[in-house]
Amino acid sequence: MQLFQKDFLKDDWGRVQNFTNAFLNDMYRIVSLDVDYSGDKKTETYLKSGLYQKALSMQLSLGYWGEQRHRSLSSKLALAILQLRWAALTFAMGFRTHPSGSTSAKEAEAHRAEAVRSFYGIISWILSLRNFVVDEITTLATRVINRTRGPPDYESSRARIHELNTPALALIFVSQSRLLFKYVFRFIRMLGEEAQQHGFKDPVWRELTTLLSKSPAALHQFEQFFADVEKTVRQIYDNERVSDAERRDVEREMLISGCIPPRLWPAVEVLFTITLDVVLKEFNVADLFFHDISWLGLSDDPESDRWREKHRLDIIRKIELPMHARIRRCTRCCSVMEDIAPPRGAAGWLINMWRSCICGNWWMGIKGEDETSNGKRQAAIA
């Protein structure tokens, strides 16, 4: 597909974008994939369907141009949703593991603590993604309003979103990502309450409390932020008497393009001019601004580019890997994970989860890496 884009579309960005959007639109339509989760649909139904993963995986790969170029907006949105889906599956699987055989209450508690420890990296990633969304939307709102000197108009704002190449706005308007955010927040909030009950005696729960306390805002404040956006979107659908078919078209357009369609633009105006002002009063804006989001892989700023050049992130456990670590690399999205022996005990959920990449593709074993003068990694296949 990328060869087709290069050879026949001549890397013309406008033609490539139009072709990609048309291809993805037909793909979602042909497989009859309902991407509208703005109603009261269950998260478990979404997580159990492998079609969503496959469709997002295709969307992810169409916007990937190699390590030397930035992903497209559509590809970034797919990457973020796939990782949120992965986090939701991780929590669902991880909390179902129980120690084998008859165990004492003390052993069961130790097993629980071990499971929580294995979630540290994923929880940290989710909190960073949350901060990224608020920070990017604040930046976008400031630049759009300053440019228009009034209520943000649709055309200039859409162009600005493409210029910044940030999926933050789409992440809170696309119903799939909102659904997944709410799901993982519920688990994190539950763990936070459990950590408070344990106090500071147990190092595992103490470290979790510290991790959650470093955030620029409490979890419930961001949940309220999402709830306000969802309420505004539902009001627009209800006031305009949008049919189910029309709502699916709107959701599909947002998911594919990463931009908000004109029909929902009034909700963006409310977000930029009212909701955001209320939210920022409760956030520690300074901490939010200086929070490190370079490791998320969703920004195009120089700091994020430097992080990607010098660091490697285990896409499964969301931890930074040493450069000498033995790794596996995904043959589709090029994400990596550490090639280690299958874990046992409470972290055994990883065995079922790491057989394939978050995008659903297979791993390629890497037995050694050498850095060339231009910084490109040359890998030898094991």
Residues of the chain with pLDDT under 70: 1-14, 39-41, 96-103, 146-152, 342-349, 351-353, 367-382
Per-residue pLDDT reduced to its tens digit, 182-215: 999 999 999 998 888 887 778 888 899 888 888 7
Q: Which two tokens stand for residue 132?
A: 């990224």
The angle, 0 to 180 degrees and rounded to 10, between the axes of the packed helices 120-148 and 73-94 is 150
pLDDT at 374: 35
Phi first, then psi: give them for residue 240, nearest 5 degrees: -90, 0
Per-residue model confidence (pLDDT) at position 313? 93
Q: What is the pLDDT of residue 67?
A: 73
To which residue do tokens 């989860």 refer? 353
